[in-house]
A and B are shown apart, each in its own frame.
Chain A
Amino acid sequence: MRFLLFCKLVYKLVLVGDDTKPLMVGRKAVLRNIFVIALMCVSSSVVADSSIKGVNAEAAVDAELGLRLPDGFKATVFADQVGRVRHIVAADNGWLYGALARPKDGMGAIALKDSDGDGVAEETIYFAKGLKGTGIGIYDGHLYFGTDVSILRWKLPESGEPKTGPELIAHGFAEKRQHAAKTFAFDGKGGLYVNVGAPSNACMEKMRTKGSKGMEPCPILEEFGGIWKFDASKTMQHQQKEGVRYATGIRNAVALDWNARADSLYVVPHGRDQLAEFFPEYYSVEDSAELPAEEFHKVAEGADMGWPYSYFDHRKGKRMMMPEYGGDGEKLSDRGQMPLVGFPGHWAPNDLLFLKSDALPEGYHLGAFIGFHGSWNRAPMPQQGYRVVYVPMDAAGNVTGDWITFADGFAGADVIKSPRDAKHRPMGLAEDAAGALYISSLMSGGRIWKITYEGN
């Protein structure tokens, strides 16, 4: 029955069209459309949600390993005590590279290699002297690095650390402390998409001050609170000159990735903090722990995700007016697009990954892995969200089912009252050429796990 409904939906979308796609006309188009429907319906019957089960809540967490995975998956501690490692990327040269949020021995990046294939890196090289950052990525034979104020790149070496000096690709980002991490994604066609987080909670007139109203229009959006697009290969591009604001209304999308199959950018921004603290008349501490949702979005050029004027309430399934802009927890808002998924509040999505290989079971091929760092702003309720989830999707980039927890147990305890008590907190995600996954955490000295599918 669900299958039939799905086919009907596909029929409606493809044949009838929607607002964003012009209708194809003529006999050829109809034939093509029927072919597309048939293909999608067939593939949808193959991609069964039952093939992805998520972690077994009954299974014990291996405390030494520091995580729990679904049946059939195996993890090793790929590297330990590496420092404050943030985003990570695996190169075809067999090395894993990571950005460090705080320099280790004066170096802002790390290169790791497992030469004997036992799942544990034997070689460790620190590089990027004098730098620190969060973003790291590979495109067109170069290793890119995002500091808080720039995007740099080195020629990707055949082995180990870069051998040449860095080129400055993008600069001119204002120096801020809050939400300053410049994470990025590539579209594979020469475009570089950089997260420029808003140095603000909800664009209040007075920073994080009770009773302060939101500014209308929010001037922060001119320079921050969105995704800026650059040419991945041009040097010395200034954010306000060569950079183009690609999408707006994004408070801080540390987690972003390009979905090559759907040929689109996706983001999972951090939602605002402190609803009950500033608006106790509208939000209980329980509401404030759950709200606003952490939103998963497909982002087209020109899209607006609504910050700071609105937020998504996943319990109501509706977009709400931000209280700094007249909201009261009940008033709806039409500013900002609807998310694909709304996750519980304050889980802090810090990386998003679409796989390129098919090494994992089929149900994992098309969807999104999201690494949640875990909350600090659910107090006095317990903190939550120290996990990696998987959102099942189809080849067109639509969500096809409920998300599952792919990895948890990082925090090391069932109840975490204070974030510093969490032993590990997921941060970056990567996939290597053979299809193995990597998860980084910057707590307890810094750790990176390698995850492979072994079957049952």
Chain B
Amino acid sequence: MKLTMTVNGEARTAEVAPLKRLLDVLREDLLLTGSKEGCGEGECGACSVVIDGQLVNACLVPACQVQGSAIVTVEGLAAQGPLGERLSDLQRSFIEHGGAQCGICTPGMVVAAQCHLDAGGASTDAVLREALAGNLCRCTGYQKIIESVQLAAQGAR
């Protein structure tokens, strides 16, 4: 099928099998390899993307379901300006406050946290722990991830 969608604000098309996983479309057809595969069954959240405002595991979504959708991946979080790339507050906070270690969960984690904040979600410890519960991290123990999100949210307000 001819898949047409908006990815990170740009209109994109790809000729793909209707049941091809969105994760593979992003990684193989659009060469957006920021979304990672940790389990392939919707358990780890490393492939988290936002489809029409909803946080979703891209490994569980067939291409035919995103026809015409607006998708945001980790590649869409930093602003591209005349002076080059400008990291988002959240991305900078993850770097400064130890939110990323091995980094394989980080793209999904940052996407999930940004989606939560964009929806007006609170940034108390308990609320953030619930908002990020679908994203597994084996390195950080989550503490510095929560702190990174909280500090970014405070800085932005």
Partners in one complex: no
Task: Please give the residue numbers on chain B whose beta carbons come within 8 Å of chain A beta carbons, in ascending order.
Answer: none
